[in-house]
Structure 1
Amino acid sequence: MHTVTESKLASHMVFVLAPLLLLLLSGGSSSPVVRAAADHGDDDYMMVAMSSLKAKAACFGHRVIPPDNGTWVPLNRPRGPCSPSLSGAAKPLSLADLLRQDQLRVDDIQWRLSDDVRDNKGSVKPPMMTASDQINHQATAQVIVGSESLPNSSMQEQGSQVSIDPAATGRRSSLPGVVQTVVLDTASDVPWVQCVPCPVPPCHPQTDTFYDPSRSGTYAAFPCNSPACTRLGPYANGCVNNQCQYRVRYPDGSSSSGTYSSDLLTFNPTNAISNFQFGCSHAVQGSFDSRTAGIMALGGGPESLVSQTASTYGNAFSYCLPPTESYKGFFVLGVPRVAASRYVVTPMLRYKQVPTFYRVLLQAITVAGQQLNVPRAVFAAGSVLDSRTVITRLPPTAYQALRAAFMNKMSMYRAAPPKGNLDTCYDFTGVANVRLPRISLVFDKNAVVEIDPSAVLFNDCLAFIPNRDDRMPGILGNLQQQTIEVLYDVGNGAVGFRRNAC
Structure 2
Amino acid sequence: MAPVFPLILVLLLSSRCRVGSSDEDAGEAVGYMDDVPASSLKHVAADHGSVCSGHKGGTMPSSSMGTWVPLNRPHGPCSPPSKSNATTSRAVMVDDMLLWDQDRANYILGQLSDDGAGREIIGINGHNSTTVGTYTVNNALLVDGEYGTMAQAGGNMSQSAAAGGGSRGGLSQTVVIDTSSDIPWVQCLPCPSPQCHLQKDRLYDPTRSSTYAPISCASPACALLGTRYSNGCSPTSQQCQYTVAYGDGAATTGTYVTDRLTLGPNIVVPNFRFGCSHAVRGSFSDQTAGTLALGGGRQSLLAQTARTFGNAFSYCVPAPSASGFLSMGGPTVAASSFARTPLVRIPRNPTFYLVRLRAITVAGRRLSVPPAVFSAGSVMDSSIIITRLPPTAYRALRAAFRTAMSMYPLTAPRPGLDTCYDFLRFPTVRVPRISLVFDAGAVLQLDRTSVMLDGCLAFAASPSDGAVGFIGNVQQQTYEVLYDVGGRSVGFRGGAC
Whether TM exceeds 0.5 here: the answer is: yes
State how far apart, in whole Å, the 1-side matches of 2:469 and 2:313 are. Answer: 22
Asked whether the 8 Å contact 1:34–1:449 carries over to 2, the reply is: no
The residue type paired with residue 480 of structure 2 is E
Name 2:149's counterpart in structure 1.
139
Q: Structure 2 vs 1, CA of residues 278 and 481 (structure 1 numbering), >3 Å: closer, same or farther?
A: same
How far is 1:39 from its partner?
A: 6.4
Q: Distance in 1 between matches of 2:456 and 2:338?
A: 29
User: 2:172 maps to what in 1?
Assistant: 179
Q: Superposed, which structure 2 residues align to 1:334-483 within 5 Å?
A: 334-483=329-478
Change (3 A) 1:126 1:407: farther
Give the Cα–Cα distance (whole angstroms) in 2 for the partners of residues 126 and 222 of structure 1: 22
| Structure 1 residues 369 and 192: alpha-carbon distance in aligned structure 2, compared to 1, 3 A threshold | same
Partner of 2:302: 306
Q: Distance in 1 between matches of 2:455 and 2:380?
A: 24
1:51 Cα deviation after fit: 3.5
| Aligned twin of 1:236 | 230
Deviations 1:10-41 (A, max 9, x none): xxxxxxxxxxxxxxxxxxxxx86548943644
Quote the residue 2:113 is aligned against: 114
Deviation per CA, 1:294-327, whole angstroms, max 9, x where unpaired? 0000000000000110000000000010132x22
Query: Which structure features the higher share of helix residues?
Result: 1
2:260 matches 1:264: yes
| Contact 1:194/1:294, CA 8 A, preserved across alignment | yes
SS in 2 for 1:480: coil
Deviations 1:50-81 (A, max 9, x none): 34445243222123422264211110112222
CA distance in 2, matches of 1:36, 1:341: 17
Structure 1 residues 36 and 48: alpha-carbon distance in aligned structure 2, compared to 1, 3 A threshold: farther
Cα deviations across residues 102-158 of structure 1 (Å, max 9, x unaligned)?
A: 10000000011112xxxxxx7986999987753222211122442222349x9xxxx
Pairing 1:158-169 to 2, within 5 Å after superposition: none
Residue among 10, 25, 35 paired with 1:47: 35
Name the residue aligned to 2:9: none
For the 8 Å contact 2:54–2:323, the answer to whether it is kept is yes
Q: Aligned pair 1:285/2:281, yes or no?
A: yes
Deviation at 1:345, TM superposition (A): 0.4
| Contact 2:140–2:287 (8 Å) recurs in 1 | no
> 2:413 & 2:96 partners in 1: Cα distance?
15
Q: What displacement does 1:342 show?
A: 1.0
Measure the CA separation in 2 of the matches of 1:371 and 1:436.
16
The verdict on how the C-alpha distance between 1:249 and 1:126 changes in structure 2, with shifts beyond 3 A counting, is: closer
Change (3 A) 1:207 1:286: same
Unaligned runs of 5+ residues in structure 2 are 1-18, 122-127
CA distance in 2 between partners of 1:310 and 1:83 (Å)? 29
TM-score (norm 1): 0.84
The change in CA–CA distance for 1:77 and 1:500 in structure 2 (over 3 A counts) is same
Quote the residue 1:88 is aligned against: 83
Counterpart position of 1:171: none
User: What is the distance in 1 between the residues matched to 2:373 and 2:250?
Assistant: 34
The one-letter code of the counterpart of 1:410 is M
Question: What are the ranges of 5 or more consecutive residues in structure 1 without an aligned counterpart?
Answer: 1-30, 116-121, 155-173
SS in 2 for 1:491: coil
Question: Letter of the aligned partner of 1:221 in structure 2?
Answer: P
Instruction: Answer with 388-397 or 69-78: which moved more.
Output: 69-78
Deviations 1:365-415 (CA, angstroms, capped at 9, x unpaired):
001111100001111100001111111110000000000011111112222
Q: Does 1:196 align with 2:207?
A: no
Q: Is 1:378–1:395's contact at 8 Å kept on the other side of the alignment?
A: yes
Tell me, in whole angstroms, the C-alpha distance in 2 between the residues paired with 1:491 and 1:322.
26
Distance 1:175 1:499, change over 3 A: farther
In 2, Cα distance between equivalents of 1:36 and 1:268: 41
Q: Structure 2 CA distance, aligned partners of 1:263 and 1:205?
A: 23
Alignment partners' CA distance in 2, 1:361 and 1:501: 23
**Kindly tell me: are residues 41 and 358 of structure 1, through their superposed partners in 2, closer, same or farther at Cα, counting changes over 3 Å?**
closer
Q: Is the 8 A contact 1:221 1:244 kept in 2?
A: yes
Q: Give 1:141's aligned amino acid.
A: A
Is residue 2:494 matched to residue 1:499? yes
Give the TM-score normalised by the residue count of structure 2: 0.84
Q: Specify the code of the residue in structure 1 equivalent to 2:140.
A: Q
| SS at 1:445 equivalent | helix
8 Å contact from structure 1 (residues 37, 450) kept in 2: no
Is contact 1:316-1:490 (8 Å) kept?
A: yes
| Deviation at residue 199 of structure 1 after TM alignment | 1.2
User: Is 1:75–2:92 an aligned residue pair?
Assistant: no
TM-aligned CA distance change 1:147 to 1:124, over 3 Å: closer
Report SS of the residue matched to 2:495: coil
Alpha carbons 2:303, 2:311 under 8 Å: kept: yes
- Which amino acid in the other structure matches residue 184 of structure 2? P
Q: Counterpart of 1:148 in structure 2: which amino acid?
A: Q
Cα drift, residue 83 of structure 1 = 1.0
SS of the residue aligned with 1:225?
Answer: coil
Rounded to whole Å, the distance in 1 between the matches of 2:24 and 2:319 is: 21
After the TM superposition, which of the residue ranges 126-135 and 289-298 deviates more from structure 2? 126-135
Shift of 1:432: 2.0
Pick aligned residue for 1:205 from 186, 192, 198: 198
Between the aligned partners of 1:446 and 1:318, the Cα distance in structure 2 is 20
Residue pair 2:419, 2:456 contacting (<8 A) in 1 also: yes
